[in-house]
Amino acid sequence: MIPHFPIAAACALACSTAVPAETPQGAAERLDAFLDRFGGIEPGYAVVVVTADDVVMNRIEGVRHAGTGAPLTADTPIYIASQTKAYMGLLAAYLDARGVLLLESTIADHWPDIEFPEGVDPAQWTLRDLLTHQVPVSVDELVTLEAYVTRVDPADYPALIARYGEAREPGYDYDNLGYNIYGAILETVTGRTWQNWLDEVVFDPLGLARTSARTSDFAADELAWYHTWLGEEDGWYIIPPKTDGMMQSAGGIVTSTGDMATWLQLQLRGEGPAGSGLGADIVSAAQTAYVETHMEDGRNAYELPCTGYSLGWNVCDFDGHTLMIHGGGYTGARTVMAYSPDLGVGIAAFSNSDNQTGWLSGRTVVMYLQYLTEHEDAERWTERRIEHYPERIARLLDYRRSGDGETRAEARWEGWAWQPSADELGEYVGRYSRGDGYHTIDIALRDAQLLGFQGDRRVTLEAARPDLFGLETGPLYGIEAVRFGRDGSGTIVQLDWEGAIYRRVD
C-alpha cells in the first residue's frame, strides 16, 4: 500500500496550477453546441456541470422510457451503478471518524470464524483494503447474486465466501466484492443496512430528495428505464429498473441531475453544509488516494493516465490537472461523474442506454475539460467525435449481432431443429438448487415458452435439442447453455448451467 495523502496536497506538489483559459460557463456553452450536433444520443441523455457555488449547465434531452415517451427531467432518478462506491466511501470515512466502524479494523475482527481461500488471511486485510480493491479474493457467485438476483443476508456471507471464494493475484484489481463485503460487515456490526446509513449520513443532510438506494422509493414510471438498441427494425429493447433486491452497496443508487450537482459541489467545497456532520476531515479522507492502480498508460475506461484509487474515486490526470472520476454501467445504462479540484469544476453525464454511451459519457467529460482549458486539439477532437459516433453505434450493433449469430451457429445446438410440444417442455418445469439457499432456479412454462426465475432475475430458455436449451437474459446479450440431466429411469434430476450444477428439488 502506498502512503496516502490528500489530493489537494498532491496537486500543490505535482499538478499544474494554470488558470483555465475559458470560463466554466463559456466551456459549458461550447459543450452544449457540441452535444447539439450529435445524432443518436437516445432515448435520454443528461449532463450537469458545476462549480463550487453555481450550476453552470443542466442539459436534459430525450425520454426516460422509449415506450411511453415520458420525458427525462431534472428530477428523474437515474441509476448510476458503480458511482455508488464514492457515496459508500464518504459514508465509510464518516463512520471511521465517528468510531462506528474503523477502516483499519480487519475482516477477521468482525467475522472471526470466516474462511478465506488458502493463502489469504482475513486477519491481514482491513476494511480500507476492501474499499480500495486490494483484498486478493474473488467470489463471482456472490457478486452476481447481489447485482442481478437478490439481497444476500450478511449472516450468509461467510458461508458463501468459503464455498465459492477463490484467491487471485495480489494488488489492486477493481471489483464489486470489497464494497459488498463492507456493506455486509456494516450491517453485522451496527444492525442497520448500508441503505439506512446512507439516508442518515449522506442523502438527508445534503437534501438529496431525488436520490435513493431503493428504487421502491419512487413510482416505476418516475424512474429512468434502461434501453438497448436492436436496430431500425426492432427499435429499443426496454429493461425495467432494478428491484430493491438488485440494489447493492457496490452499485445501488439512483439520483437526479439536480442532486448530482449538489453531490459534486460537496466534492469541490471539500465539506458539507453546516450541521451536516460531513466536515472537511471526513471529505478529505474519502478523497485521499490509498493505493496505486498502475494505469498510467491510459488503458482504462476514461482513456486517461490514472494512478490511484481513493474511497470510491479514480485519481487521474488531465493535462497536469488532477481529475477524480468514476463511471457506472449496467445493462442498458451508462453514467460517469468527475471533478477537478484544481480546475474547480465538476461534471456528470447520464444515459439510459448502452448504445456506445459509455464512450460518449467519458468523452463528454474530456471535451468539457478541453474546452475549459482551450486545449489545442479541442476543435479537431470535436469534429472527429461527432463524425465517428454513428459509426461506433453501427459497429456495436454489428458486433452484437455477429456474436449472437456465431454462437447460434455452433454445432452443439444441432441447428435449433427441435420443436418440442407443451407436454415435452412440461417435463422440465420444477425447482433446481445448488443447495446454498440462494442459487435456486424455478423453471416455469408460460405461453409455450420455458422461463427461469432466479430471485428477481428472469431468463428465457430456447429449445435447441432434447435436454439442451439456450439461456438468454435479453436479446443480443449472449446465449448460455443449460443442459438437463436424467437418471436411469429417464426422470430429469438436474440442470447444468455452464458448469454450475443445480439439483432438482421439486
Give the residue from 49, 19, 4, 28 showing the smallest Cα distance to 348.
49
| Predicted pLDDT of residue 8 | 40
| Predicted pLDDT of residue 299 | 83
Residues 333, 354 contacting (CB under 8 angstroms): yes
Distance, in Å, from the CA atom of 28 to the CA atom of 185, rounded to the nearest integer, reads: 42
376: cell is 489545442
Q: How many CA atoms lie within 13 A of 245 on its CB side?
A: 13
Q: What are phi and psi of 85, to 5 degrees?
A: -60, -35
- pLDDT per residue, tens digit, the chain (506 aa), is 334 444 443 343 334 444 566 899 999 999 999 999 987 689 999 999 999 999 999 999 999 999 999 999 999 999 999 999 999 999 999 999 999 999 999 999 999 999 999 999 999 999 999 999 999 999 999 999 999 999 999 999 999 999 999 999 999 999 999 999 999 999 999 999 999 999 999 999 999 999 999 999 999 999 999 999 999 999 999 999 999 999 999 999 999 999 999 999 999 999 999 999 999 999 999 999 999 999 988 888 888 999 999 999 999 999 999 999 999 999 999 999 999 999 999 999 999 999 888 889 999 999 999 999 999 999 999 999 999 899 999 999 999 999 999 999 999 999 999 999 999 999 999 999 999 999 999 999 999 999 999 999 999 999 999 999 999 999 999 999 999 999 999 999 999 999 999 999 99
Give the residue from 156, 150, 114, 154 showing the smallest Cα distance to 135.
114
Give the residue from 37, 35, 55 showing the smallest Cα distance to 46.
35
Q: How many CA atoms lie within 13 A of 139 on its CB side?
A: 25
Q: Which domains does the chain have, with CATH numbers?
A: 7-96+194-396 (3.40.710.10), 99-190 (1.20.58), 412-504 (2.40.128.50)
Q: Containing H/E element for 258?
A: helix 257-269
Q: DSSP assignment of 94-148, as one string? A: HHHHTTSS-TTSBHHHH-TT--PSTT--GGG-BHHHHHTT-S-EE-HHHHHIIII
Q: DSSP assignment of 382-407, as one string? A: HHHHHHHHHHHHHHHHHHHHHHHHHH
Strand order, beta sheet including 44-50? 55-62, 44-50, 345-351, 333-340, 321-330, 314-318, 306-309, 291-295
Q: What angle do CA 476, 477, 480 make, to 5 degrees?
A: 110
Q: Containing H/E element for 442?
A: strand 440-446
Q: Containing H/E element for 440?
A: strand 440-446
| Predicted pLDDT of residue 16 | 40
HEC profile of 54-96: CEEEEEEEEECCCCCCCECCCCCCEECHHHHHHHHHHHHHHHH
Residues 464, 418 contacting (CB under 8 angstroms): yes
Distance, in Å, from the CA atom of 106 to the CA atom of 229, rounded to the nearest integer, reads: 45
Distance, in Å, from the CA atom of 29 to the CA atom of 23, rounded to the nearest integer, reads: 10
285: cell is 479522507
Distance, in Å, from the CA atom of 333 to the CA atom of 318, rounded to the nearest integer, reads: 25
